[in-house]
Amino acid sequence: MSDMAAKPNLSPSVQEAQGGRGSSPVPATEHGDHLHHDDHEHHDQHWLWKYVFSQDHKTIAKQFLITGMIWAILGGTLSSLFRLQLGWPEGSMQWLTPFLGKWIQAGKLNPEFYLALVTMHGTIMVFFVLTAGLSGTFSNFLIPLQVGARDMASGFMNMLSYWFFFLSSIVMFSSLFIETGPASAGWTIYPPLSALPQSIPGSGAGMTLWLVSMALFIVSQLLGGVNYVTTVINMRTRGMSMSKLPLTIWAFFLTAILGILSFPVLFSAALLLIFDRSFGTSFFLSDIYIAGQALSNQGGSPVLFQHLFWFLGHPEVYIVIMPAMGMVSEVLATNARKPIFGYRAMIGSLIGISLLSFVVWAHHMFVTGMNPFLGSVFMFLTLIIAVPSGVKVFNWLATLWRGNIRFTAAMLFSIGFVSLFIAGGLTGIILGNATLDIQMHNTYFVVAHFHLVMGSSAFFGLFAGVYHWFPKMFGRMMDEKLGYIHFWLTFVGVYLVFMPMHYVGIAGFPRRYYAWTGFDAFSQFADLNKFISIAAILAFFGQFIFIFNFFYSIFRGRRATQNPWNSTTLEWTTPVNPGHGNWPGEIPAVYRWPYDYSKPGSEVDFIPQNVPYSKTQSSNLPYEQDMAE
């Protein structure tokens, strides 16, 4: 159905515009006014430069996506392992010995390795999948295509961005196989635990690799981020003012700014931690007696590290969720066949969220011994974020209202995104309240909250993006039926996993516990924990339907048409398989905003951005009519 039989009778003008000026694909020899014809379109290009060390943003996007998918499978596998432990604390894991080797002792998972599992799961999912895999993929892919640029501002930096990420991945991956195990201090790597190998084996070489990997990752993020911002500011096509940008681009743009401003702070934290670990400084260490020895470090503060970490860490969750918000806005409008409701309010709320994201970090630290007055300030600022977030949700709902909804797989995941964002976002109102956080801090309530609001939601945004832009990426369609099955399995699965997790959290069960069995206060949920584990493992295996669909469709999927979703944005004016440079001819100019869906007076139910008002006399609003003349 994806092709939307409602193949509208395109008016000639629209048809022409859809293909861009001089729509028929230009033969390779005829570069004409193609401004960007390095050696890219020559067919004798070596595969190494075409597919591996490519500077084409589309190829780099696919590299990010596929690397991210590999990481996601690994991250999900790790979570299945620790869910096995939590679901069946008494069960034998002997059968896993071939995979985990010495980490299984007498059929039991090693508790320190359990911590390594949760640490690596968090690190992988937050940084490698939902930052690099999500924003790396779609910022790269969509920014040039949607603003009307031949490529990123610097293709070379863009290539470096991926290869730094790749290096970072290799380093992190190799840390899984070292003798003392990977980093185990939690993804937040709070010192002194992360600083002292005496305290946990994972803080030895594993932690060193973690820090090196993260430093490389930050370099990758900064190279990418500077590129995204520059491209959006400087390389928009004629007529593409900031107020005509699709919401995707606004989201990627603000995300990149957040990354540029906050990742360097994590870099500094990592650097100081490296100094504490290796060169005897005391930035984060003081008054420590460990392993039979009093350390000489004095005057440092572990709380300082938390401030530095969360100064990145909090914007980071918006770095994860904002690209998803942007893509969901786009997909909802396209498939509801309606303009996104409150375009300017959507931009305003994105900007509001971005600004606020920098002044709320200490809500992760209400009970760390920080001055309680600071707690009041951060509670105030944190809870304010509910307002712009609420505006976004209401606008999405209003976009669906009186729409004409086509349930593509992307649309399903977008609706799922809104649902999960509501479910997870609302509990933030509890956790942002310092008083209530006294009880809820570091419990499964927090785990449930952020897995819904930034974990699952961002994944849903990622899926929506992949299903929606797959035809542009690979020139073929993904199978819709498998997409439906994938969606319903995942949607139901996510709720079954994370809703009950709130109950466990309200009862106070702490996160990062190898077992709840030691405490009477937390031991009443054995059945529920088993239930959560089963749901989680099933939902995880459901993802292989997606993996299969993805790779199958790359090679055998149905061939895509140029604009399969009847969408208005510029990427659909390129040929089905755009070459390097994106448009064979001139880059189309932009005349209108990206959401002219179902405009009264228009024959078709969408008018692409590159159709001038002079060609749509019948549907122009009065002020648009002025522009047409």
Partner 1 sequence: MTALTIVLVLVLLLVVFGLLFRLQILTSIFSGTFTRDIGMSNSVNAILMLVFMVFGGAWFAYSFVENFNKMNPPIASVHGHEMERMFWTTMAVIGVAFLITQALLFIYSYKYQYKEGRRAYFFAHNNKIEVIWTVIPAIVMAALIFAGWKAWTRITGPAPKESVVVEVMGKQFNWLVRYPGRDMKLGVVNYRMIDAVNEFGFDLSDNAALDDFTTNEIHVPKGVPVLIKIRSRDVLHAVYMPHFRVQMYAVPGMPTRFWFTPTMTTDEMRAKLGNPGFNYELACNQVCGGSHFAMKATVIVDEPDDYQNWYAAQESFAKKNPEVLAALKQKPAATVSQVAEPAEAKEAAPSPLAASY
Per CB under 8 A, contacts with partner 1 among 117-176 are: none
Q: From the list 28, 242, 355, 405, which residue makes contact with partner 1 (rule: CB under 8 A)?
A: 405
Q: How far apart are CA 586 and CA 21, in angstroms?
A: 7
Determine, following the binding rule CB under 8 A, whether residue 499 of this chain makes contact with partner 1: yes
Q: Which stretch binds partner 1 (CB under 8 A): 49-57, 259-267, 438-446, 577-585?
A: 438-446
Range 573-602, binding partner 1 (CB under 8 A): 595, 597-600
Q: From the list 20, 68, 375, 585, which residue makes contact with partner 1 (rule: CB under 8 A)?
A: 375
Contacts with partner 1 by CB under 8 A: the residue count is 131
| Minimum CB–partner distance for residue 328 and partner 1 (Å) | 12
Q: Is the peptide bond before 192 cis (omega within 30 degrees of 0)?
A: yes
Q: What is Dmax (Cα atoms) for the chain?
A: 84
**462: phi then psi, degrees, rounded to nearest 5:** -60, -45
Q: Which residue's CB is nearer to partner 1, number 236 or number 338? A: 338
Q: How far apart are CA 215 and CA 219, in angstroms?
A: 6
Q: From the list 70, 167, 359, 506, which residue makes contact with partner 1 (rule: CB under 8 A)?
A: 506
- For residue 617, count other CB atoms closer than 10 A to its CB: 12
Determine, following the binding rule CB under 8 A, whether residue 528 of this chain makes contact with partner 1: yes
Q: From the list 400, 447, 464, 532, which residue makes contact with partner 1 (rule: CB under 8 A)?
A: 400
CA 196 to chain centre: 32
Vertex 541 angle, CA 535 and 546, to 5°: 125
| Minimum CB–partner distance for residue 560 and partner 1 (Å) | 12
Q: Which residue's CB is nearer to partner 1, number 45 or number 433? A: 433
Determine, following the binding rule CB under 8 A, whether residue 250 of this chain makes contact with partner 1: no
| Minimum CB–partner distance for residue 324 and partner 1 (Å) | 16
Exposure letters 550-575 (e unless 16+ CB within 10 A, then b): beebbeebeebbbbbbbbbbbbbbbb
Q: Quick check: helix, strand or coil at residue 293?
A: strand
Exposure letters 581-615 (e unless 16+ CB within 10 A, then b): bbbbbebbbbbbbbbbbbbeebebebbbbbbebeb
Range 324-363, binding partner 1 (CB under 8 A): 336-339, 341-345
| Helix orientation angle between 457-474 and 409-431, rounded to the nearest 10 degrees | 150
Determine, following the binding rule CB under 8 A, whether residue 73 of this chain makes contact with partner 1: no
| Minimum CB–partner distance for residue 523 and partner 1 (Å) | 10
**Residue (of 123, 209, 216, 213) closest to 161 by Cα position:** 216
Range 186-225, binding partner 1 (CB under 8 A): 186, 190-193, 196, 199-200
Determine, following the binding rule CB under 8 A, whether residue 368 of this chain makes contact with partner 1: yes
Determine, following the binding rule CB under 8 A, whether residue 6 of this chain makes contact with partner 1: yes
Residue partners of 292: CB distance under 8 A and separation at least 6 = none
The answer to whether residues 65 and 134 touch, using CB atoms and an 8 Å cutoff, is no
Q: From the list 258, 415, 535, 570, which residue makes contact with partner 1 (rule: CB under 8 A)?
A: 415
Determine, following the binding rule CB under 8 A, whether residue 515 of this chain makes contact with partner 1: yes
Q: From the list 387, 614, 618, 627, which residue makes contact with partner 1 (rule: CB under 8 A)?
A: 387
Q: Which residue's CB is nearer to partner 1, number 110 or number 231? A: 110
Q: From the list 361, 463, 495, 550, which residue makes contact with partner 1 (rule: CB under 8 A)?
A: 495
| Minimum CB–partner distance for residue 356 and partner 1 (Å) | 12
Determine, following the binding rule CB under 8 A, whether residue 494 of this chain makes contact with partner 1: no
Phi-psi region of 409 (alpha: psi -120 to 50; beta: other; left: phi over 0): alpha
